[in-house]
Amino acid sequence: MGTGTRPTALVTGASSGLGECFARTLAATGYDLVLVARGRSSLERLGLELEQQHGTASEVMAADLADAAQLDGVAERLRTGDPVDVVVNNAGFGHYGRFVDLAVDGEAGQVTVNALAVLVLSHAALGAMVRRGSGSLLNVASIAGFAPTPHSATYSATKSFVIFLSEALHDEVAPRGVHVTVLCPGFTRTDFQQRAGVRTDRLPSFAWSDAQSVVDHGLAALERNQAVCVPGALNKITAASPRFAPRGLVRRISAQVMRRMES
């Protein structure tokens, strides 16, 4: 794919939520796209719409990143396919509730998609970018990754992994002309909460961000090669607080917030 004149961006989890917003925003700013998600039909509809609106050429890759073979197929596209200028590792999901009450397969699936897939695709993307001496990688984490979070134990642990990995990669590849940013949004109004089985009406409106704002902040931070991007003043305070508060207090506050979100 590719026109030869337009840059290309690959977005995982592109069929809905933040991923779809990333795809739409990148298309509007002149990128061709590689759209990755499990549902081919939704990706094809999005690709057709973006072609009609912006002249975007979209390559559709229907892939479940929890499946090793399908994950490797996306990685191989990054390693050996036409150059990809921007990679957005956005795919992920969460489960809320007491760890012992949740199905272990679902928790293991979070580790695979939220952490392992990010590692594999980051490795593939950066290998190609470092060889070229250019490129940008945006990994989507969460402010949940800054603190251990009872009732969201696995999710917060996977996002902590993404934050630490991305920060280290930022420093490794910056001298090679490659950008790496980790985006850490707070509560964002997408379909993520509905799929995770949480209530969106139990937190005040000021605690929520809209998807477009989060995407704009993330892409702007990536452009200037900012290592960590936490959009919003309240989220910045939330992300910084665990550094100074007693760990036990941090866990209790996190647990209270999560219990309010449970259906």
**Residue numbers annotated as active site:** 155
**Helix-strand-coil percent breakdown of the chain, rounded to 5?**
55, 15, 30
Residue 136, classed as helix, strand or coil, is strand
Cβ neighbours for 32, distance < 8 A, ≥ 6 positions apart: 1, 2, 3, 6, 7, 8, 9, 56, 57, 58, 59
Backbone angles phi, psi at 122, to 5 degrees: -65, -45
CA distance 79 to 81: 6
